[in-house]
Amino acid sequence: MNYSLLSRFRGAWLGSLIGQQLANHNRLITIREQKTSISELAKPKSFWRSRQSRGAARSTPEILSALQEQFNVLETLRWESIDSVSGQEYYLLAIFPVIMYYHDDWCSLSSFINQNRYSLQQSQKEIDNILVWCYTVRLALRGELVCCGLTERVVVGIGLKQTASIQWLKEVEMSCLNGLNSIQLAKKLSAMENGDLALSLFCVLQNPEDFFLTIQQALFWEKQTTMITALSGVLSGAYNGLTGIPVNWRNLSQNQDFYQQITTKTENMIAEWLGIELTVNRGTLSSVITSPRVLQPRSNLKIISQQEY
């Protein structure tokens, strides 16, 4: 399906929050009836909230400093860690705004990840896993996340050799193509790391155009259910856009101040990404926007190809 990039951006962040909070509140029964109220899940513990925490977030100031140097649109965003989440899993969510902003510029995104390797306090293998995750989110935002040939596209796109870091990705692709279920995949992954990444991706690929079924399937995993549902929510929300999220959850979230703040930040981010909003002084380039319902002759338009900028 073709969705606007703004819809995909908003779907991704709202999907991650819904997935995480449904898992935290053990909403498996109510989710089946789609009656879970977002008002009950207001102000979730999330990477969008402000508070420095222990453990995985001990290098948060360094990351924030690097982010602020990259672009001012994230200047008000700060994150906190999620309890019982490892460093790598935490950063998969923490760097999500960066992934959105640089989703069409893989060189800048991968450079950012590699340049902040020491601040992230991750091994090279973990960095490779983060890059794989970033690329799958990138594919979802572009509407290109499909099972067949996924491993090859990721390997070529990242420029990564056939290493252990992508073995779990191979298992996910083959399991989908061979008709395995998530329990069978979990058994194959038992001796591997990154089970949360693999299972979240598997849930999305099994239900590519159904956000509800993706989250429902992810919730069956209890040990790491918070991360699996949150990561599944990111991918499914990015692929299906805000439109793909159940209407009840989407409408209820619009009445919460916290969710509205994030919506505004998302809109600011895409405005800056489009070049409509300036990084400095945060002004608006009104000259590149025509008035509503007004058609202008081509000769009156300022077009980059005419060297008028």
Q: What percent of the chain has pLDDT over 90?
A: 11
The Cα 301–Cα 130 span in angstroms is 43
pLDDT(291) > 80? no
Quick check: 277 and 63 in contact, CB under 8 A?
no
**CA-angle at 62, arms to 59 and 66, nearest 5°:** 140
Which residue, among 71, 3, 79, has the nearest Cα to 268 in the 3D structure?
71
Alpha helices, DSSP H only, in 77-207? 87-94, 96-101, 106-115, 117-120, 124-141, 150-158, 167-177, 182-189, 195-206
Which of the pair, 74 or 31, is modelled with greater confidence? Answer: 31
Residue range 186-198, pLDDT digits in tens: 777 766 666 788 8
**Rounded to whole angstroms, how far apart are CA atoms 172 and 203?**
10
Class (C level, CATH) for 5-27+60-274: mainly alpha
Look over the chain and give the mean of its residue pLDDT values, rounded to a whole number.
69
End-to-end CA distance of the chain: 35
- Residue 304: phi and psi, rounded to 5, are -55, -40
36 or 240: which leads in pLDDT: 240
Q: How confident is the model over 280-300, as a mean pLDDT?
A: 50
Q: What is the pLDDT of residues 245-254, one digit of tens each?
A: 888 777 766 6
> Is residue 178 predicted with pLDDT exceeding 50?
yes
Region of 73 (left: φ > 0; alpha: ψ -120 to 50; beta: rest) is alpha
DSSP 3-state percent helix, strand, coil across the chain (nearest 5): 65, 0, 35
Residue 179's pLDDT band, with cuts at 50, 70 and 90, is confident
CA distance 80 to 52: 5
Please answer whether residues 146 and 140 qualify as being in contact, where contact means their C-beta atoms are separated by less than 8 angstroms. no
Contact 224, 24 (CB under 8 A): no
CB-based contact 143:172 (threshold 8 Å)? no
The reported pLDDT for the residue numbered 121 is 66
